[in-house]
Structure 1
Amino acid sequence: MTEDKALFAPIDPVKAGISCACPRCGQGKLYDGLIKVRPACTACGLDYSFADSGDGPAVFVILIIGFLVVGLALWMEVNYNPPIWLHLLLWIPLAIGLSLWLLRVMKSLLIALQYKNKARPGEIDHG
């Protein structure tokens, strides 16, 4: 990641993550599709080559959505005892929809935090 020459007001990483916007200017779109990161910001020109969120967003999504959907399904089963087809009709689309939305948000949040904290790959100090 090269040093920034332009001056931009600091953007809150949570705000940039939720809006899926550029972590530097907060204006440009971060994605070029569902979860494919653009090569650069269309507004300020920030190179997104530093952006590597890895498997972190998927882990957070699995844990959060799993907790919510399984908890709601168990609560509904205990209180109302609906037929299995109703469980399938409710929880599968809800889990898929929430997972796709939250995956974009979590990936954006982690990329914004990488930018803010100037995160780099780990280095071994041989000195």
Structure 2
Amino acid sequence: MPDTDQLQKGQPPLWRAALFGLCPECGTPGLFEGAANFRERCPTCGFDSGRYNVGDGPAAFLTLIIGALLIVAALLLDAALAPPLWVHVILWVPLTVAAVIYGLRIAKGALLASEHQRDAAEGRVEKPDD
């Protein structure tokens, strides 16, 4: 696993690339276009994000974790203060949407940066010479 010292010049560490949506090649902001979609290419260095298969792998896992945490928080709030239902609606719906979208950006950014730093590619089977 590469340390910060082993990264090429300009490449941000994994945590910084994920947290701030930085290009894993040059470190400039703007990895995402829209809520959680990658840009086709980095406007600064031309990094091609389509080369890596990040997909929506983190989506289900992340949604389940965030959902569980927010349900616990909602139950604790209800037990402590017993607010009316409309308070729960205006509090938890936007918080859930924001947490899932920002969490997806972090998870997908981390996965893309990790694949780039390790030069990940599809596996290939070499056929033996006959």
Which TM-score tier does this pair reach, normalised by the shorter chain? 0.7 to 0.9
Q: What are the Cα deviations for residues 1-33 of structure 1, in whole angstroms up to 9, with x where unaligned?
A: xxxxxx634421110111101101111421222
Q: What are the Cα deviations for residues 58-117 of structure 1, in whole angstroms up to 9, with x where unaligned?
A: 124213311221111011122222222221121111101111122112111111111112
- Alignment-mate amino acid for residue 53 of structure 1: V
> 2: CA distance between counterparts of 1:66 and 1:126?
46
Tell me the residue number matched to 1:47.
48
Tell me the residue number matched to 1:109.
110
Tell me the residue number matched to 1:85.
86
65-74 vs 42-51, which deviates more? 42-51
Distance 1:58 1:32, change over 3 A: same
Q: Is the 8 A contact 1:25 1:44 kept in 2?
A: yes
> 2: CA distance between counterparts of 1:108 and 1:60?
15
- State TM-score, norm by structure 2: 0.79
Mark the runs of 5 or more structure 1 residues left unpaired by the alignment.
Answer: 1-6
Q: Are 1:63 and 2:64 counterparts?
A: yes
% of aligned pairs identical?
A: 33
Tell me the residue number matched to 1:121.
122
> 1: CA distance between counterparts of 2:60 and 2:27?
26
Distance 1:122 1:63, change over 3 A: farther
Secondary structure of 2:122's aligned partner: coil
- What aligned pairs does 1:10-25 form with structure 2 within 5 A after superposition? 10-25=11-26
Distance 1:79 1:40, change over 3 A: same
Q: What are the Cα deviations for residues 28-56 of structure 1, in whole angstroms up to 9, with x where unaligned?
A: 42122222222221122222222321222
> 2: CA distance between counterparts of 1:57 and 1:34?
15
- State TM-score, norm by structure 1: 0.81
What count of residue pairs does the alignment treat as equivalent?
121
Tell me the residue number matched to 2:3.
none
Q: Is the 8 A contact 1:21 1:28 kept in 2?
A: yes
